[in-house]
Amino acid sequence: MEMPAPNSLVLSAKPQIVARLRKVLPPDAVIEDAAETRAYECDALTAYRCPPLAVVLPRTTDEVSAVLRICHEEGVPVVPRGSGTSLAGGALPTADCVILGVARMTAVLETDYDNRFIRVQSGRTNLSVTGAVESDGFFYAPDPSSQLACAIAGNIAMNSGGAHCLKYGVTTNNLLGVTLVQMDGTVLEIGGAHMDAGGLDLLGVICGSEGQLGVVTEATLRILPKPEGARPVLVGFDSNEVAGECVSDIIKAGVLPVAIEFMDRPCIEATEAFAKAGYPDCEALLIIEVEGSAAEIDEQLALIKTIALRHNPVEFREAADEDQAKRIWLGRKSAFGAMGQINDYMCLDGTIPVSSLPYVLRRIAEMSKEIGLDVANVFHAGDGNMHPLILFDANKPGDLERCEALGADILRLCVEVGGCLTGEHGVGIEKRDLMGVQFAPDDLEAQLWVKDVFDPRWLLNPAKVFPLAVTASRRAA
Amino acid sequence: MAKPLSFPEDIFEQEMGQGMRPETEAELAEIIRVANGPFVVRGGGTRSVGACEGAVLETGGLSGVVLYEPGALTLVAGAGTPLAQVEAQLAAEGQRLPFEVPDMRGLLGCSGESTLGGVVAANASGPRRVQAGACRDSLIGVRFVDGAGTVIKNGGRVMKNVTGYDLVKLMAGSWGTLGVLSEVSFKLLPVPETGATLILRGLSDAQAVQAMASALGSPFEVNGAAHWPGEGTFLRIEGFAASVAYRAAQLRRHLAAFGALEIEEGTARWAGIRDVTPFHGRNGDVWRISVKPSDAPGLVARMRADAVLYDWGGGLIWALAEPGTDLRAALGAFEGHATRVRGAGPGAFQPESPGVAALTRGLRAKFDPRGILNSGLMGA
Ligand SMILES: Cc1cc2nc3c(=O)[nH]c(=O)nc-3n(C[C@H](O)[C@H](O)[C@H](O)COP(=O)(O)OP(=O)(O)OC[C@H]3O[C@@H](n4cnc5c(N)ncnc54)[C@H](O)[C@@H]3O)c2cc1C
């Protein structure tokens, strides 16, 4: 992966930059020692690493503003960082950058049940936002699988989704406001406890901008009353096509499950070997979860059952109690771990129109055979967000490159059928060079304008999202 | 890149007359590219806010559903497609736009055919916004022509998409100031089997907002919560019949402290709340104010309007005021924003803080460098 050559002026000014940062931050909040900065050399895309110039761990918006003002004056690139769980290399440092980590900014600033929001510092983890309100019967809806670790800051930057977004939407649909610190240190309040923007929807473009427009230090998040209950069913099919048709028929029938998860045979087999969830031996399975009171759940599941049985499933498994419900989810929840046990894997994240599901799965199987790397599919079927896992061996020379080539081909396929490169993980460095597949030059240029306006000197996370060649002149300016 | 086109001889002459009405996106791009003068961008002209000068550029020619996949809950259509046509087509499949588009014609005293592009440009969202989100939340893709005549696309036809910056959200509610929409894509929802309206009578505004907060904070999936002073406090639930009956009973218990809850079958009443019928035929300026719900009663007391209607559990206040009243002056500093949707004079849109205004100006200068699209609207 090509990264821009570090700015030698910045590298040689390190002592002065660090000294200035130390003046505005407490002693323990500036890390420059090579042994300690190594902990920040990558995110969850571990194939790519680079220790940063320095790391700062501020505790307040004022401290963030002071840091950014200094970096702006010194011309130092800044890479914002939440918990470093990005799968796209969004938080990957460059050698000349300061990593601005918000991990120490974890406070709950305000909870308001009457108006159904919570305001938190952005370093707070996703799960602990729900943790702060759940004893009062509320929750924060977006639930990425990484929710124990990932920070709200990263969720906002990536516009993260989760298993339940079919009903509740992704981060952008649950975000009411942010405190944003611009690269020159200016602090802006955008949005708040009220709904929608009075002018342009800046919040909408900040969410999902991958740390390139400003540093989010605080966020106002919508919280929702917890449903009375939820229950999954598991349906096995002997073909991907039929499973795909079943998803479409359920949606057309007017039921809105909170989640429809899809696993194909390679994925079922791997998770069975690992988690022993007792899944049926079949080509494809769906886990469908609905919410409500016990009676409402029964009614929805009865309808889903009628539809599913029309498609002659290999198995239709209901959960009689909490324990059986957990077992239905067990395999799905351990899918990534299972893959990690048997192989290195690369997790893709393209989205496709639901109607193209059978075709895309068939093509992926063919491509996988051609290149000689196995692919297991597990994904959010209700919204077409695929997660093909390409299995490879990092110790085998050439395997990573073949894996990346297959990954790129699969993503091209997603775009070809009318979908996109990434549904929830973000572009980062990983899909940066594929942006031209989905966007014409004019489409990209319009996005660059937004960055020009928010960060005219292109210092915030500058080597991400867009092909380097496209941004070269701006980064050099 | 738009390739040069040949036009009917009279297309630019229309500039003098009733305005221009391109039939294709390429034609739209070419009109803007070669133009100097300012344009007033217009869909059906059924939800205009504020005023600006220029030749009328109508999108009604960019009409037609490009793709509708009920099994994927997605619709793609030209920006000039009539809303009514789309709503009928969706209804035939038992689906709808989730955000309950208000019909503003009665309020604004105009006629005409509302278009999808206009809905997006206004981020027009009705009572269901409290649960299903605003127009911007259901919008998944756009194509538009910027102020230089360049065609730009963003988003697409899939529900989950974080590829690049979300210009889709930026275009929603941009009132034609960043570009002229040519195509829009939406995520849809099924129409529920049935619905019910629950009514509390005799509550003060403060009590009503509390009752609505309590209902919206319950797990019973209230998707409309409005208060019409003097008339009643209204809650809506929708879903399968048994579920609606169950939730109505639960809410009756849940809200017992606020008085007896009447249960009205159906949801017909909500069109009136959505379209603010209580103000129809009455004189005065109309303001639309988005606030933190619990602030609403206090703000209403301060603004001394002739009439108000609370929607979104109190988060949206519709206010009818003496013509020419600067309601914002009466409100003082508050968290939220106020737009004058009917009435004359400058300042229809909420002034922005200096930092936000600078970003808005910067974006407009990039997307419309010559300042020819709805120039003068939205502060700039
Ligand atoms: C096992 C596993 C499962 C996952 N499952 C899911 C899933 O189900 N759904 C999903 O959507 N994602 C998932 N992810 C991806 C990842 O967890 C999300 O992208 C997450 O939101 C990243 O959060 P983070 O705090 O770790 O951010 P980081 O990795 O630290 O940073 C991510 C991006 O955010 C930017 N950023 C960080 N902080 C700020 C800030 N304060 N201001 C501005 N920008 C900032 C960074 O510059 C970077 O571009 C998964 C990852 C793993 C490892």
**Measured in whole angstroms, how far is the alpha carbon of residue A155 from the centre of its chain?**
7
Question: Class for domain B277-342, per CATH?
Answer: alpha beta
Task: Please indicate whether, in this complex, the C-beta atoms of B356 and A194 are within 8 angstroms of each other.
Answer: no
Q: How many CB atoms lie within 10 A of CB B24?
A: 14
First-last CA distance in chain B: 28
* B residues 101-140 lying closer than 8 A (beta carbon) to A: 123, 125, 129, 133-134, 136-137
Given this model, what pLDDT does residue A331 score? 87
Question: Is A453 at the interface with chain B, CB within 8 A?
Answer: yes
pLDDT exceeds 80 at position B137: yes
What angle, rounded to 10 degrees, do the helices at B354-367 and A441-454 form? Answer: 150
Given this model, what pLDDT does residue B18 score? 59
Given this model, what pLDDT does residue A326 score? 92
**Exposed, middle or buried, A22 (CB in 10 Å: 0-12/13-18/19+)?**
middle
According to DSSP, residue B243 is labeled H
pLDDT exceeds 80 at position B2: no
Question: Class for domain B1-191+350-380, per CATH?
Answer: alpha beta
Handedness of CA A140, A145, A148, A150 (dihedral sign): negative
Q: Which pLDDT band holds residue A155 (cuts at 50, 70, 90)? A: very high
Mean pLDDT of chain B: 94
Given this model, what pLDDT does residue B114 score? 97
Q: What is the pLDDT of residues A273-312, one digit of tens each?
A: 888 989 999 999 999 999 999 989 999 999 999 999 999 9
**Measured in whole angstroms, how far is the alpha carbon of residue B197 from the centre of its chain?**
23
Q: Please check whether residue A168 is in contact with residue A141, taking contact to mean a CB–CB distance below 8 angstroms.
A: yes
Given this model, what pLDDT does residue B1 score? 37
Q: How far is the CA of A150 from the centre of ligand 1 (A)?
A: 6
Task: For chain A, give the percent of residues with pLDDT over 90.
Answer: 86
One-letter amino acid for residue A295 of the chain? A
Q: Tell me the C-alpha distance between A318 and A351, whole Å.
A: 29
Q: Which pLDDT band holds residue B16 (cuts at 50, 70, 90)? A: very low
Q: What is the pLDDT of residues B297-315, one digit of tens each?
A: 999 999 999 999 999 999 9
Q: CATH 3.30.465.10: which residues of chain B?
A: 1-191+350-380
Nearest CA to ligand 1 atom 3: A146
Given this model, what pLDDT does residue A339 score? 80
pLDDT exceeds 60 at position B5: no
Task: For chain A, give the percent of residues with pLDDT over 70.
Answer: 100
> Among B315, B309, B337, which residue's Cα sits nearest to residue A115?
B315
pLDDT exceeds 70 at position B273: yes
pLDDT exceeds 50 at position A52: yes
What angle, rounded to 10 degrees, do the helices at A357-371 and A240-252 form? Answer: 150
pLDDT exceeds 80 at position B254: yes
* Domains of chain A with bracketed CATH: 1-226 (3.30.465.10), 230-336 (3.30.70.2190), 343-434 (3.30.70.2740)
- In B, minimum Cα distance to A201 occurs at B170
For A398, the token pair is 């050439």
As for the ipTM of the complex, it is 0.96
Most confidently predicted of A110-119, A341-350, B47-56 = A110-119
Smallest CA–CA separation between A169 and chain B, in Å? 8
Q: How many CB atoms lie within 10 A of CB B5?
A: 13
Give the mutation target among A158, A165, A205, A336 for probing the ligand 1 site: most ligand atoms within 8 A of CB: A158
One-letter amino acid for residue A411 of the chain? L
DSSP letter string, B265-281: ESSTTHHHHHTTGGGTT
pTM of the model: 0.96
First-last CA distance in chain A: 23
Task: Please indicate whether, in this complex, the C-beta atoms of A193 and B159 are within 8 angstroms of each other.
Answer: no
The sheet with strand A98-101 has its strands ordered as: A30-31, A54-56, A98-101, A78-81
Q: Which residues of A touch B94 (CB under 8 A)?
A: 252, 254
Three-state SS for B48-83 is CCCCCCCEEEECCCCCCEEEEEHHHCEEEEECCCEH
- Ligand 1 site: residues with CB under 6 angstroms? A 43-44, 79-87, 90-91, 102, 122, 144-146, 150-151, 153-155, 157-158, 160-162, 210-211, 215-216, 336, 424-426, 461
For B332, the token pair is 């003082």
Given this model, what pLDDT does residue B275 score? 98
Strands B194-200 and B232-239: antiparallel
B63 to each of B23, B86, B157, how far by Cα in Å?
8, 11, 18
Question: Is A143 at the interface with chain B, CB within 8 A?
Answer: no
Q: What is the pLDDT of residues B123-136, one digit of tens each?
A: 999 999 999 999 99
Mean pLDDT of chain A: 95
Option in B210, B243, B293 nearest A296 (CB): B243
Given this model, what pLDDT does residue B12 score? 44
Does the structural domain B194-274 have CATH classification 3.40.50.12780?
A: no
Question: Is B88 at the interface with chain A, CB within 8 A?
Answer: no
Q: What is the pLDDT of residues B183-215, one digit of tens each?
A: 999 999 999 999 999 999 999 999 999 999 999
pLDDT exceeds 80 at position B380: no
Q: Which residues of A touch B154 (CB under 8 A)?
A: 443, 446-447
Q: Which pLDDT band holds residue A386 (cuts at 50, 70, 90)? A: very high
Q: Tell me the C-alpha distance between A62 and A71, whole Å.
A: 14
Which residues contact residue B187 at a Cβ distance below 8 angstroms, ignoring those fewer than 6 apart? Answer: B73, B74, B98, B138, B140, B159
- Calculate mean pLDDT across residues A240-265: 90
pLDDT exceeds 50 at position B7: no
Q: Please check whether residue A331 is in contact with residue A271, taking contact to mean a CB–CB distance below 8 angstroms.
A: yes
Give the mutation target among A40, A67, A156, A160 for probing the ligand 1 site: most ligand atoms within 8 A of CB: A160
pLDDT exceeds 60 at position A133: yes
Q: Which pLDDT band holds residue A463 (cuts at 50, 70, 90)? A: very high
- In B, minimum Cα distance to A244 occurs at B71
B120 to each of A211, B140, B176, B293, how far by Cα in Å?
27, 11, 9, 24
- Calculate mean pLDDT across residues B331-354: 94
Given this model, what pLDDT does residue A225 score? 97
> Among A38, A35, A47, A9, which residue's Cα sits nearest to residue A403?
A47
Q: Which residues are registered as beta bridge partners of A216?
A: A180
Q: What is the pLDDT of residues A204-218, one digit of tens each?
A: 999 999 999 999 999
| Residue with the two structure tokens 């899918």 | A335
Q: Tell me the C-alpha distance between A52 and B240, whole Å.
A: 56
